[in-house]
Amino acid sequence: MKSEFNWEYAPAPEAKDHIKLKAQYDLFINGKFVKPYSKKYFATYNPATEEKLAEVAQANSKDVDLAVASAKNAYDKVWKKMPAKERAKYIFRIARVIQERARELAVIESMDGGKPIRESRDFDVPTAANHFFYYAGWADKLEYAFPNRNPQSLGVAAQIIPWNFPLLMAAWKIAPALATGNTVVLKPAESTPLSALKLAEIIQDCDLPPGVVNIITGFGDTGAAMVAHPNVNKIAFTGSTDVGKIIQKAIAGTNKKATLELGGKAANIVFDDAPINQAVEGIVNGIFFNQGHVCCAGSRLFVQENVAAEVIQKLKARMETLIVGDPLDKNTDIGAINSKEQLDKINEYLKIGSKEGLELFQTSASVPKKGFYCKPTLFIGAAQSNRVVQEEIFGPVLTIQTFRTIEEVIEKANNIPYGLSAGVWTDKGSKIFNLTSKLRAGVIWANTYNKFDPTSPFGGYKESGFGREGGLHGLMPYLKF
């Protein structure tokens, strides 16, 4: 289906000749890059081209030991004792250098993870800097944030992050930990380690006391060793619900505090009184941009029956205009799927949905032959019992269900193991307030979608995890009272 808005765009690639990547990256421990005890390295690839970008160290349990010891030492001897307003200056400095090196960070983020440069340049990197700015401001005001409660830091935080927002998740984790006086061992995901290693260079340039932030690379076993380490006081994890459950079991009966930000399967609900064109834009933004690699993606669309035909027709027309391809092209809407494994998982769900008898719609866009790509996809006529409705796909795949009444849509939206986010599109404020009080989701957007701000708390219900990141709430998991 071609739309009247289906213009051709000339290529507009972002330059990458200014990017300097080393062939090999070591572990950032105690303020220095050190070789891993394991002596092992693994490759990280550009999923858009399947080219190897660099090799990074594979930390084993001895390396984890060293990183935790360095964080503990820095906590006991330096960071815990430092006046909060001095700590704030370091955090502020990190924010400033992220801004100065924004272009480089954005290009690296898109190369290593496959996300469109528009997203990394306009969202990931500026929002990461904003998180450091925001939490720098709280560092010396904890007494005001929690009056008469004498907030105290915890110690060493082990932070494990996923591949969908590598730099931003590092910022979400590191900034509040430092502001509250804790020290950090952070592990980025194995497919996207490079922006975190650049952040390590930035932290070195900012002269943070050695050991306050340690950044180590590796796979799940490295993460598991961090979780199990006896000198770790707090665990912050973002990733799959399966690993979240493993972590919760591993720390049961210990004193370790944890926040888990896990999967999602958000309902995006469009009522017949909604501004339909805006809603269509919000649906597209909610699931297709960033390849659906978003835990709060609006992956389940609920449309009121009497406007369903119109919404679906307009959605298909808008989808036809989406450009799938080179993440470094400034016109690209949908970049590369992060890894072959993730693409295989998405393709498996495309088969499952078709087998479940759903109508599949994919745009006619061509996708590059090399690299991992998936066209934006709809499953029309979906039902609550379909696996593609119940399970997290984490790709540009949207299921569409219709509803007649508010009660029905609340029931269906909530009838899912997850509860991270939701969207509501309506002209009526009263309907918005009604739904926001009844939808079991941590974040609910009204007449917009996927909006983020460091001042606003984020986190889930049910199997989407617990604890909040961002805002004043985001300080609490790093404090004892």
Nearest 5°: CA angle at 80, between 79 and 84? Answer: 80
Annotated catalytic residue within 261, 392, 463, 469:
261
Phi, psi of 389 (to 5 degrees): -90, -35
CB closer to Mg ion out of 180 and 191: 191
CB of 448 to ligand NAI, least distance (A): 20
Q: Of these, 26, 112, 119, 190, which contacts ligand NAI (CB under 6 A)?
A: 190
CB closer to ligand NAI out of 99 and 248: 248
- Closest to 288 in 3D by CA, of 226, 348, 180, 376: 376
CB of 191 to Mg ion, least distance (A): 5
Question: Does the protein bind ligand NAI through residue 460 (CB under 6 A)?
Answer: no
d(CA 439, CA 413): 7
Annotated catalytic residue within 295, 296, 392, 463:
295
Tell me which residues in 370-409 interact with ligand NAI (CB under 6 A): 392, 394
- Residue 112 interaction partner, one of Mg ion, ligand NAI, none, beta carbon < 5-8 Å per kind: Mg ion
Question: Does the protein bind ligand NAI through residue 238 (CB under 6 A)?
Answer: yes
- Output DSSP code: residue 255: S
CB 442 within 8 A of CB 421: yes
CB 298 within 8 A of CB 445: no
Contact string 66-95 vs ligand NAI (x = CB under 6 A): ------------------------------
CB closer to ligand NAI out of 163 and 379: 163
- Residue 19 interaction partner, one of ligand NAI, Mg ion, none, beta carbon < 5-8 Å per kind: none
How many contiguous H segments (helices) and E segments (strands) does the chain have?
16, 22
Selected range binding ligand NAI among 9-17, 155-163, 207-215, 470-478, rule: CB under 6 A: 155-163
d(CA 466, CA 299): 21
CB 403 within 8 A of CB 274: no
**Beta bridge partner(s), residue 268:** 301, 423
Q: How crowded is residue 152: how many other Cβ atoms within 10 Å of its Cβ?
A: 13
CB closer to Mg ion out of 109 and 112: 112
Question: Does the protein bind ligand NAI through residue 145 (CB under 6 A)?
Answer: no
**Beta bridge partner(s), residue 42:** 56
- Residue 227 interaction partner, one of Mg ion, ligand NAI, none, beta carbon < 5-8 Å per kind: ligand NAI
CB of 220 to ligand NAI, least distance (A): 3
Question: Does the protein bind ligand NAI through residue 219 (CB under 6 A)?
Answer: yes
Quick check: is 295 catalytic?
yes
CB closer to ligand NAI out of 181 and 395: 395
d(CA 242, CA 277): 37
- Residue 44 interaction partner, one of Mg ion, ligand NAI, none, beta carbon < 5-8 Å per kind: Mg ion
d(CA 475, CA 151): 10
| Contacts to Mg ion by CB under 5 A | 44-45, 112, 191
d(CA 18, CA 398): 37
**C-alpha radius of gyration, the chain, whole number:** 22
Q: Which two tokens stand for residue 298?
A: 């609006």
Q: Which two tokens stand for residue 92?
A: 């502020």
Measured from each CB, the residue nearest to ligand NAI is: 223
- Output DSSP code: residue 458: B
CB of 194 to Mg ion, least distance (A): 7
Q: End-to-end CA distance of the chain: give it in Å, rounded.
A: 60
Q: Of these, 31, 116, 162, 176, which contacts ligand NAI (CB under 6 A)?
A: 162
DSSP H or E run through 52: strand 51-57
Q: Of these, 345, 440, 462, 480, which contacts ligand NAI (CB under 6 A)?
A: 345
Tell me which residues in 422-451 interact with ligand NAI (CB under 6 A): none
- Residue 345 interaction partner, one of ligand NAI, Mg ion, none, beta carbon < 5-8 Å per kind: ligand NAI
CB 174 within 8 A of CB 183: no
What is the set of active-site residues? Answer: 261, 295
* Residues lying near ligand NAI in the complex (CB under 6 A): 160-164, 187, 189-190, 219-220, 223-224, 227, 238-240, 243, 246-247, 261-263, 295, 342, 345, 392, 394
